[in-house]
Amino acid sequence: MNNLPASIQQKVCDYYTDKVLTFGETPKGVDWNSRQSQELRFDQLLKICDQDIDFSLNDFGCGYGYLFEYMQQKNLKFRYAGFDLSEEMIQRSRKRYASANNCQFFSGSDFSDIADYTVASGILNVKLHHSDVDWEQYALNTIHKLNDSSQKGFAFNVLTRYSDKEYMRADLYYADPCFYFDYCKRNFSRNVALLHDYGLYEFTMLVRKI
């Protein structure tokens, strides 16, 4: 499975559109448990950026764009582009940040914009009925896109295989962090960091290209 078949892509899109329609522009509206965990994820992903200088950032699977707001609150100097499968998410993002002049939002699964950095929070977790083998192919293909769209580096998170069995769900994908670390080292850069020390049932990979 090199790309998500259109029918499955629609199901993933419907899954998240339903979340935001039910819970609104809140952490639960993008399927997270709390604001604290949503921001904790951002803190890990943003470690990829050299925050001392202006930078551009792609946010792949941006939801309602809360990362943009979080970065503004931190007074970072940046240009932001958010992408999401869900048109509903993108409409809400555009409305929410209509007065900002350093962000843009695009709907769809493909993006060709190249930025200094690309981050992706939570786009590899919900596999629905796919097998692990098929989803792994899709995940690797997606990670190649993150690489292609970033000049200085990229970062993503995935649920970890080191989760407690009793909490694991059949429709979610639990990745082997060592496999993804090795894959990133061999395919993208010698400078890769695996963060698995921040208390959530997931890990974050940072791939530094320069």
Ligand X SMILES: C[S@@+](CC[C@H](N)C(=O)[O-])C[C@H]1O[C@@H](n2cnc3c(N)ncnc32)[C@H](O)[C@@H]1O
Binding site for ligand X (CB under 6 A): 12-13, 16, 30-31, 38, 60-63, 66, 83-86, 89, 109, 121-123
Taken in order 209, 189, 111, 51, the sign of the CA dihedral is: negative
Least separation in angstroms between residue 86's CB and ligand X is 4
Q: Which conformational region is residue 122 in: left (phi greater than 0), alpha (psi within -120 to 50 degrees), or beta? A: left
Least distance in Å: CB of 171 to ligand X? 13
Smaller CB distance to ligand X: residue 8 or 185?
A: 8
Q: 80: phi > 0 → left, psi -120 to 50 → alpha, else beta; which?
A: beta
> Which two tokens mark 81?
């582009």
Find the shortest distance in angstroms from Cβ 161 to ligand X.
19
**3-class DSSP state for residue 50?**
coil
The nearer residue to ligand X, 38 or 150, going by C-beta atoms, is 38
Place of tokens 């999401």: 84
Radius of gyration for the chain, computed over Cα atoms and rounded to the nearest angstrom: 16
When the beta carbons of 120 and 207 are compared against ligand X, the nearer one is 120
Q: How far is the CB of 190 from ligand X (least distance, A)?
A: 28
β-strand 78-84 against 55-60: which pairing, if any? parallel
Cβ proximity to ligand X: between 25 and 132 the closer is 25
CA 148, CA 189: separation in Å to the nearest integer? 13
Residue among 36 and 191 whose Cβ is closer to ligand X: 36
Minimum Å gap between C-beta 106 and ligand X is 10
The per-residue b/e assignment along 3-38, b for 16 or more CB within 10 angstroms, e otherwise, is ebeeebeeebbeebbebbeeeebbbebbbbeeeeeb
To ligand X, the closest distance from the beta carbon of 35 in angstroms equals 10
Residue closer to ligand X (CB basis): 83 or 135: 83
